[in-house]
Amino acid sequence: MKFLICTDLEGVACVVGSAGQPLNREHKQYEFAQQMLTKEVNAAIDGLRSISSDAEIIVGDGHSDGTANIIYNELRRGVQILLGVPRPRQLSVLDSTFSGVLLIGYHPMAGVKGGVLSHSFSSASIHNMWLNGRLIGEIGLTAAQAGSLGVPVIFVSSCRAGTEEAKEWIEGVETVAVKEGYGRNFALSLHPEDAQEQIRKGVARAVERIREIQPVKIPPPYELRIEYKLESTAEAEVRARGSIRLDSRTVARRSDNIFEVY
């Protein structure tokens, strides 16, 4: 079996960031978040291998510029690592030969109550996004893009709000909530090692139940509506991409290929 582990940094245990500052390398929680993500990815790898001992595993470094957010030399051996930007497309190596995608350290969409570090791709510029009329964030869009290739997202770890969002999009998905958000930068977290143990067990359950977890299938055509925070960002996108302007701050990207809308 072949798996892609997609990663982000905001949704790992004991990380809440702080208001008005992205979780970048200058942030005092960055180094700790890197360590947590590395350990949570290792827990996911252990979970996969506990059921599928010869699983082929690719780990994607997905936060920000996709480099060095995971401590690569501390990952379990035998996996391959996908890193860097610009990405040719989202989920660059994924095709229909994969059995499943796992999302580790993910965060809820912008504006969700109690969503720790919630945002949709850019906390600085994007207010809301809708796919074919339905409010969507990174978890939903990743599930829909993988689903268009016939591959299910089988496991998601995030804060509680992120796991609820995952369940709304993906029927039967296994999830682990590593923290409970009471604000965008305030949470009650599991102990890191308890989070890792739950991830290992949850991933194993996901592989055991993989036939019950269906790919998210949304038929084309696709319209991704993006409401920016600033009018100037919408204007710049219309000039650069030829997107359709819907109102002063909102644009629409339309295509029959879901990878072309984001």
| Binding residue count for Zn ion, defined by CB under 5 A | 3
Residues from 43 through 102 that contact Zn ion (CB under 5 A): 63
Q: Which residues pair with 21 in a beta bridge?
A: 18
Q: Which of 134, 136, 173 is nearest to 153 (CA)?
A: 173
Give the nearest distance from C-beta 23 to Zn ion in angstroms. 7
Give the nearest distance from C-beta 144 to Zn ion in angstroms. 19
* 119 lies in the binding site for Zn ion (CB under 5 A): no
Q: Which stretch binds Zn ion (CB under 5 A): 4-12, 163-171, 188-196, 252-260?
A: 4-12
Side-by-side strand order, sheet with 244-247: 134-135, 126-131, 222-228, 250-255, 244-247
Residue type, 118: S
Residues from 9 through 28 that contact Zn ion (CB under 5 A): 9
* 184 lies in the binding site for Zn ion (CB under 5 A): no
Give the nearest distance from C-beta 193 to Zn ion in angstroms. 23
Phi, psi at 157, each rounded to 5°: -115, 140
* 8 lies in the binding site for Zn ion (CB under 5 A): yes
- Measured from the Cβ of residue 167, the count of other Cβ atoms closer than 10 Å reads 15
Give the nearest distance from C-beta 120 to Zn ion in angstroms. 11
Distance CA 197, CA 88 (A): 34
Residues 87, 57 contacting (CB under 8 angstroms): no
- Which of residues 9 and 82 has its CB atom nearest to Zn ion in the complex? 9
Interface contacts to Zn ion, rule CB under 5 A = 8-9, 63
